[in-house]
């Protein structure tokens, strides 16, 4: 079985305040059009949390050609990468991701490479 490693290192995800952003652009449709010209996608519009989630394809400079992280076991690894996933809500089964997530203890989530024994 083959897995694609580093899929989360190939895009940047951004969270913004929904109502203010839509107000600035007039409508969600206008915002989506504006962002599409820049290669940015609105992937989720969460009215309850008043958040919009953007995604854009930007390859991490520390990802090698074989999709390994150059700074994985170093102090240079960014905090957001160390904390991913940051909560139970962030965990999803991403088919192209080479990692799976499991709950070890309440509130503690660990990532492991798919195909690796628990």
DSSP letter at 8 equals G
Residue ranges in 37-107 assigned as alpha helix (H): 79-83
pLDDT at residue 2, as a whole number: 40
pLDDT at residue 88, as a whole number: 46
Asked if residue 1 is part of any domain, the answer here is no
Domain of 83, in residue numbers: 7-113
> What pLDDT, in 10s, does the model give residues 27-68?
999 999 999 999 999 999 999 999 999 999 999 999 888 888
> What pLDDT, in 10s, does the model give residues 70-91?
888 888 988 877 766 544 455 4
Asked if residue 2 is part of any domain, the answer here is no
pLDDT at residue 33, as a whole number: 97
Q: Give the total number of structural domains in the chain.
A: 1
Asked if residue 77 is part of any domain, the answer here is yes
Cα 94 from Cα 106, distance rounded (Å): 22
pLDDT at residue 41, as a whole number: 95
Asked if residue 56 is part of any domain, the answer here is yes
């Amino acid at each position: 079985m083959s897995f694609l490693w580093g899929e989360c290192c190939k895009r940047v995800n951004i969270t913004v305040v929904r109502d203010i952003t839509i107000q600035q652009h007039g409508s969600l449709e206008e915002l989506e059009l504006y962002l599409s010209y820049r290669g940015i996608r609105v992937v989720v519009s969460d009215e309850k949390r008043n958040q919009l989630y953007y995604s854009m394809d930007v390859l991490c400079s520390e990802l090698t050609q074989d999709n390994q992280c150059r700074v994985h076991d170093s102090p240079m690894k960014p905090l957001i990468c160390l904390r991913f996933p940051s909560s139970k809500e962030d965990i999803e089964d991403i088919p192209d991701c080479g990692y799976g997530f499991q709950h070890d203890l309440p509130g503690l989530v660990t990532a492991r490479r798919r195909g690796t024994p628990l």
